[in-house]
Amino acid sequence: MPDAEILAVGSELLGTQRVDTNSLYLTGKLNVLGVEVVQKCVVGDDRARLANEIASALRRTEIVILSGGLGPTEDDITRDAVAAALGRTQYQDAAALAAIEERFRRNNRKMAEINKRQAMVIEGAEVLPNPRGTAPGQWIRTEDCRTVMLLPGPPHELKGMFEDQVQPRLEAMLPKQCIETAFYRIAGMGESDVDALIAPVYSKYTNPVTTILAGAGDIQLHFRARCSTTEEAKSLLAEVCPQIEKLLGDRIYSNDGASLEETVVKLLRAKNGTVAVAESATGGGLGARITSVAGSSACFMGGFITYTNEMKEQLLGVSSEVIAEYTEVSEQVAVAMAKGVRDKTGVGYGVSVTGEAGPESGSGQPVGVFYVGVADERGAEARRYQFPGDRARLRQLGTQWALDMLRRRILSAG
Amino acid sequence: MPDAEILAVGSELLGTQRVDTNSLYLTGKLNVLGVEVVQKCVVGDDRARLANEIASALRRTEIVILSGGLGPTEDDITRDAVAAALGRTQYQDAAALAAIEERFRRNNRKMAEINKRQAMVIEGAEVLPNPRGTAPGQWIRTEDCRTVMLLPGPPHELKGMFEDQVQPRLEAMLPKQCIETAFYRIAGMGESDVDALIAPVYSKYTNPVTTILAGAGDIQLHFRARCSTTEEAKSLLAEVCPQIEKLLGDRIYSNDGASLEETVVKLLRAKNGTVAVAESATGGGLGARITSVAGSSACFMGGFITYTNEMKEQLLGVSSEVIAEYTEVSEQVAVAMAKGVRDKTGVGYGVSVTGEAGPESGSGQPVGVFYVGVADERGAEARRYQFPGDRARLRQLGTQWALDMLRRRILSAG
């Protein structure tokens, strides 16, 4: 199986602030295809240096993936450097130019002369269309069976191009391996707790390979069986997966890659349920996560951002006495907010979040304490959560807990 | 002035989760000394590959810094690879071994035999003591005036060693240099438009160096002047920056690195202003961005997420006739939402967003059309925006336009 090397291009990735994260995404995708990333490099906007590094990479590694440096300016040197490293010329590709011009026309913008640079294509390259941005990518097979690809730097463009254009080409090129995967997403548990629970099972197997990835309150479990036939790979998974599912139970919220917000929207739509939110510490982040799902308008009505106590009282009808007695970060206030939003909007499920995201406490409750409330026709309840982390992580966790509590409430409605 | 290259060693840095962050610290320290990092690389635990990369790095770059791979196991290959690349032998250094043994004794631990590997020193290297860990570092000057250093991977060990041992050596070795920087963030313009506007100025100068970085509706401009005195560097910036500032005017929202939401919160706090939001297409994302800023509770009161037309009518008092006549994605509805949230909450500024984020249009307006409204004591206005992009990008752009329109409105209030 060939190895891969990733070259990220751009002087901005050589400063003190930004790291190349595209390579993490690319590595995940390549690993699933059975390709290992053996080296990665960041090179600045320096034609000679980049051309030199590309030539070195091609001597030692079969697949070389470049990201970034495909923009219209003089700084965008990837095309030139690859052409130089391969000793090939470039030409202006009429179809690529037409696509760029069409994109500007559609956006009612005038195309600058320099954008024509983005239609320059290396001799022998296949153009990879980029519906998400201006710069097309390129895919090149060399005489000595190396593969070089030029992908755009902006992550959403790179991901889209990889999925639409690169993955099918790699699958066609790579030796066929039968890989079967199982994938679970889990909310409401820490990484080490998940590991402690399932290690007795997965550690008995070297095939499938188990990978545990941890995000903020969100664990991903991958099982990858590699065999010479699909049947063998499937039967390996059929042995391991039921054991894992039994141990984790309803902590597993998805087995198809769906995010927690996608899962919640799917559940609500399936049951013709509706939801509205009442957010304090998360400031709109819960609504933003739900509405990030296309089609959420079928079940998400809206809600209230009540960042101050006055807003909690005025917009949601939370009583000032309750706030005075229990503070705004309390079970009582979370319940009142969830009931309040349900009453004001007429939805099936009202969900509330109130908490201390820091850096300082406003309510007197410790930073990291959150309450999440859910109200439905059966009544209302709230739960307390406390975790460490900075403001951004705590706010993310707050939306995670709220979504998971809503998910369980919907499931429990039968 | 010599350039530097950083090689991070370790297969764990080639997975899907971890990135090398030591290089960010090292880059900051080197830049202050006037040294640019021109390339950085991650190499796995592979002797031959690493030796090869070190040899290449030494051909092209004056200073080569390695981090990691100094542990006691077979996987810890940095010493061997450097020795191989330089064609030098290693010996067991008595003082280094004594320091390692002493460290184990102090911690009441028995030293394993393999830890002796950590006392192996490359011929001609200076040993860099490591009071924070077991592995000493090494500093090597080659015959052809290259500098190679081997630093430990754990960040606190690496930082301590850099400050205690490396920095004084570099200061003694390097010609004295002074660097001054200017930094601007710009909203409301595309990358190529910014470039077309300012290229006539910056392209006249090779010092300061100009870098343009683009995000979703957010451009960063960096200028870095390098001279032998601070006065010279400052006077170069004083020549270039006012020309740039004049061309960009109030498109520049910050010159201290502050994000757009931080800028808005700072402006509001400085003027004792208050704001509330009314969000449709962004679903809470605008509120979430404002409240991501610590201290935003001084100016942000809350708001409404009105994802459906019923919610727009019921919570904000938008008239159903206006929606029927102009659709919910219209100037009229954006104005009514901004006025509505201001009336319902009593804030100084009401900000609204309504738009078509796709993938399909609900209102009949094309996907990508957004209206942003602002209301204050002087009245209300709304603007139309249209850009390409997927749902996530459009929603991000929607919050960006809303924040920028609010910023301009606050500024225009004087």
- CA–CA separation, A392 vs A282, rounded Å? 9
Rounded mean pLDDT, A286-294? 97
β-strands B300-306, B275-279: how paired? parallel
Whether A382 and A269 have beta carbons less than 8 Å apart is answered as no
Is B44 within 8 Å of chain A by CB?
yes
- CA–CA separation, B259 vs B263, rounded Å? 6
Interface of A with B in 380-399 (CB under 8 A): 391-392, 395
Q: Which residues lie below 8 Å from residue B17, measured CB to CB, with a gap of 6+? A: A24, A213
Degrees to nearest 5, angle at CA B284 with A361 and B266: 55
The confidence score (pLDDT) of residue A266 equals 97
pTM of the model: 0.77
Q: Which of A36, A263, A291, A50 is nearest to A150 (CA)?
A: A50
Tens of pLDDT, residues B186-238: 998 888 889 999 999 999 999 998 888 777 889 989 898 988 888 999 999 99
Chain center to CA of A410: 25
Closest Cα in chain B to A313: B345
The confidence score (pLDDT) of residue A390 equals 84
Q: Does A16 sit within 8 Å of B28, measured CB to CB?
A: yes
Q: Does A279 sit within 8 Å of B287, measured CB to CB?
A: yes
> What is the distance between the terminal CA atoms of chain A, rounded to a whole angstrom?
48
**A378 has pLDDT over 90:** yes
Q: Which of A186, A182, A166 is nearest to A174 (CA)?
A: A166
CATH of domain B183-254: 3.30.70.2860
User: Which band of pLDDT confidence, cut at 50, 70 and 90, is reported for residue B132?
Assistant: confident
The confidence score (pLDDT) of residue B152 equals 95
CA distances from A325 to A319, A331, B18 (A): 10, 12, 45
A191, amino acid identity: E
Q: Does B38 sit within 8 Å of A46, measured CB to CB?
A: yes
**B12 has pLDDT over 90:** no
Q: Does A284 sit within 8 Å of B387, measured CB to CB?
A: no
**B369 has pLDDT over 90:** yes
**A176 has pLDDT over 80:** no
Q: Which of A111, A153, A149 is nearest to A132 (CA)?
A: A153
Contacts of B300 in chain A (CB under 8 A): 283, 307
Of residues A21, A36, A345, nearest to B19 (C-beta): A21
A240 phi and psi angles, rounded to 5 deg: -85, -45
Helices B309-316, B331-345: inter-axial angle, 10-degree rounding: 40
The confidence score (pLDDT) of residue B214 equals 78
Contacts of A71 in chain B (CB under 8 A): 191-192, 214
The confidence score (pLDDT) of residue A142 equals 95
Contacts of A27 in chain B (CB under 8 A): 14-16
**B308 has pLDDT over 80:** yes
> How many Cβ atoms are within 10 Å of A94's Cβ, its own excluded?
10
The confidence score (pLDDT) of residue A54 equals 97
Whether A257 and A221 have beta carbons less than 8 Å apart is answered as no
- Within 13 Å, how many C-alpha atoms sit on residue A114's CB side? 15
**B280 has pLDDT over 80:** yes
Residue A406 tokens, joined: 């809503």
Dihedral angle sign, alpha carbons of residues B222, B228, B233, B234: positive
- CA–CA separation, A172 vs A349, rounded Å? 47
Determine the 3-state secondary structure of B184 from DSSP: strand
- CA–CA separation, B7 vs A387, rounded Å? 36
- CA–CA separation, A173 vs A155, rounded Å? 24
The confidence score (pLDDT) of residue B86 equals 97
> How many Cβ atoms are within 10 Å of B144's Cβ, its own excluded?
8
- CA–CA separation, B317 vs A10, rounded Å? 49
The confidence score (pLDDT) of residue A42 equals 97
> What are the start-end ranges of the H helices in B67-189?
78-86, 94-106, 155-161, 167-173
Mean pLDDT for chain A? 93
Tens of pLDDT, residues B370-411: 999 999 999 999 999 998 888 999 999 999 999 999 999 999
- CA–CA separation, B342 vs B303, rounded Å? 9
**B367 has pLDDT over 90:** yes
Residue tagged 């962004």 (tokens): B282
The confidence score (pLDDT) of residue A212 equals 79
Residue tagged 């009544």 (tokens): A379
Tens of pLDDT, residues B240-268: 999 999 999 999 999 988 999 999 999 99
Is B249 within 8 Å of chain A by CB?
no
Rounded mean pLDDT, A300-323? 97
The confidence score (pLDDT) of residue B373 equals 98
User: Which band of pLDDT confidence, cut at 50, 70 and 90, is reported for residue B45?
Assistant: confident
β-strands B209-215, A218-227: how paired? unpaired
- Within 13 Å, how many C-alpha atoms sit on residue A101's CB side? 9
Rounded mean pLDDT, A191-200? 87
DSSP β-bridge partners for residue A9: A43
- CA–CA separation, A302 vs A341, rounded Å? 9
Largest CA distance in chain A: 78
Looking at domain B3-173, its CATH superfamily turns out to be MoaB/Mog-like domain (3.40.980.10)
Residue B147 tokens, joined: 């500098």
Residue A261 tokens, joined: 């917000």
Domain B260-412 has CATH 3.90.950.20: yes
Q: Does A308 sit within 8 Å of B302, measured CB to CB?
A: yes
Is A46 within 8 Å of chain B by CB?
yes
- CA–CA separation, A3 vs B251, rounded Å? 46
Rounded mean pLDDT, A43-55? 94
- CA–CA separation, B124 vs B121, rounded Å? 8
- CA–CA separation, B206 vs B215, rounded Å? 25
Whether A376 and A218 have beta carbons less than 8 Å apart is answered as no
Rg of chain A taking only CA atoms, in angstroms:
26
B83, amino acid identity: A
**A215 has pLDDT over 80:** no
Q: Which residues lie below 8 Å from residue B254, measured CB to CB, with a gap of 6+? A: B184, B185, B260, B262, B263
Whether A66 and A5 have beta carbons less than 8 Å apart is answered as no
**B177 has pLDDT over 80:** no
Residue A15 to chain B, least CA–CA distance (Å): 6
The confidence score (pLDDT) of residue A179 equals 79
DSSP β-bridge partners for residue B5: B39, B64
The confidence score (pLDDT) of residue B278 equals 98
Whether B84 and B52 have beta carbons less than 8 Å apart is answered as no
Rounded mean pLDDT, A401-410? 97
Residue tagged 């990889």 (tokens): A162
Is B317 within 8 Å of chain A by CB?
no
Determine the 3-state secondary structure of A149 from DSSP: strand
Q: Is B382 left (phi over 0), alpha (psi -120 to 50) or beta?
A: beta
Determine the 3-state secondary structure of B413 from DSSP: coil
B355, amino acid identity: G
CATH of domain A178-254: 3.30.70.2860
User: Which band of pLDDT confidence, cut at 50, 70 and 90, is reported for residue A213?
Assistant: confident
β-strands A147-151, A63-67: how paired? parallel
Three-state SS across B102-132? HHHHHCCCCCCHHHHHHHEEECCCEEECCCC
Tens of pLDDT, residues A320-370: 999 999 999 999 999 999 999 999 999 999 999 999 998 988 888 999 999
The confidence score (pLDDT) of residue A209 equals 84
- CA–CA separation, B30 vs B51, rounded Å? 24
Q: Does B38 sit within 8 Å of A24, measured CB to CB?
A: no
Chain center to CA of B251: 20
Closest Cα in chain B to A394: B292
Compare B102 and A213 and report the one with higher pLDDT.
B102
Is A20 within 8 Å of chain B by CB?
yes
- By percentage, how much of chain B surpasses pLDDT 70? 100
Contacts of B39 in chain A (CB under 8 A): 14, 41-44, 49, 53
- A–B interface: beta-carbon pairs under 8 A: 237
CA distances from A405 to A350, A351, A353, A376 (A): 11, 9, 11, 12
Q: Which residues lie below 8 Å from residue A116, measured CB to CB, with a gap of 6+? A: A72, A92, A97, A100
Hey, where are the domains in chain B? 3-173, 183-254, 260-412
The confidence score (pLDDT) of residue B320 equals 97
The confidence score (pLDDT) of residue B257 equals 85
DSSP β-bridge partners for residue A187: A218
Is B285 within 8 Å of chain A by CB?
yes
**A177 has pLDDT over 80:** no
DSSP β-bridge partners for residue B210: B223
Is A285 within 8 Å of chain B by CB?
yes
**B365 has pLDDT over 90:** yes
- CA–CA separation, A136 vs A168, rounded Å? 17
**A273 has pLDDT over 80:** yes
- CA–CA separation, B16 vs A214, rounded Å? 11
B373 phi and psi angles, rounded to 5 deg: -120, 145
Intrachain domains B3-173 and B260-412 with the same fold = no
Whether A93 and A112 have beta carbons less than 8 Å apart is answered as no
- Following DSSP, what letter does each residue of B263-291 receive, concatenated? HHHHHHHHTT--EEEEESTTTTHHHHHHH
**A154 has pLDDT over 90:** yes
Q: What counts of helices (H) and strands (E) characterise chain A?
A: 14, 17
Residue A16 to chain B, least CA–CA distance (Å): 5
- Following DSSP, what letter does each residue of B195-230 receive, concatenated? HHHHHHHHTT-SSSEEEEEEETTEEEEEEEEEESSH
The confidence score (pLDDT) of residue B110 equals 84
- CA–CA separation, A104 vs A119, rounded Å? 13
Residue B397 tokens, joined: 């752009």
Rg of chain B taking only CA atoms, in angstroms:
29
